[in-house]
Structure 1
């Protein structure tokens, strides 16, 4: 059991030792997000649905 714990500790120490390098870091260019154009057409869908439901209720 002691050997297993020692092996796990040595593996963890070795993996962190090789994690970095002396190479220059690669910097990714910033992502520019364009805002979605807000349009008034988004309001028409719920209004049409309400009108259809109102017409169905009024017809009964």
Structure 2
């Protein structure tokens, strides 16, 4: 029984001893995928709204 407990203790100690290494871990950079957007994407909606307001004012 003593040998079994000693073997279990040595196994547990050995498994934690080799859990990490001295070398720095290699971490890959995340891949960032950007969607292509048009050059007028931020300007198009305000221009359409401005045209609608101008058309509404002109029709009165």
The TM-score range, normalised by the shorter chain, is 0.3 to 0.5
Question: What is the TM-score when the length of structure 1 is the normalising length?
Answer: 0.42
Query: Which of these two proteins has the greater Rg computed from alpha carbons?
Result: 2
